[in-house]
Amino acid sequence: VWFRPGERLSIAEVTATYLSMTMRLVGATISHGTARPSGRARDAVAL
């Protein structure tokens, strides 16, 4: 599930996927709105 420009997944989709996996790993429940990509994906690129 890695981001590659021009490939299947966008940065926002990868971010949402990893958020969902992490939340499940720690046993947290997430609502539909929580797993939605947010503006944070843009911040991750700047790092």
pLDDT by residue (tens digit) across 7-37? 777 788 888 889 989 988 898 776 655 545 5
The reported pLDDT for the residue numbered 4 is 66
Q: Does 1 map to a domain?
A: no
Residue 47, pLDDT > 80, answer no
- Token readout for 29 is 């429940």
Structural domain that includes position 17? 11-46
Helices (H), 1-47: 11-25, 40-46
pTM surpassing 0.85? Answer: no
Domain count, the chain: 1
Residue 5, pLDDT > 60, answer yes
Q: Does 19 map to a domain?
A: yes
Neighbours of 40 (CB within 10 A): 11
The reported pLDDT for the residue numbered 17 is 86
Q: CA 38, CA 47: separation in Å to the nearest integer? A: 16
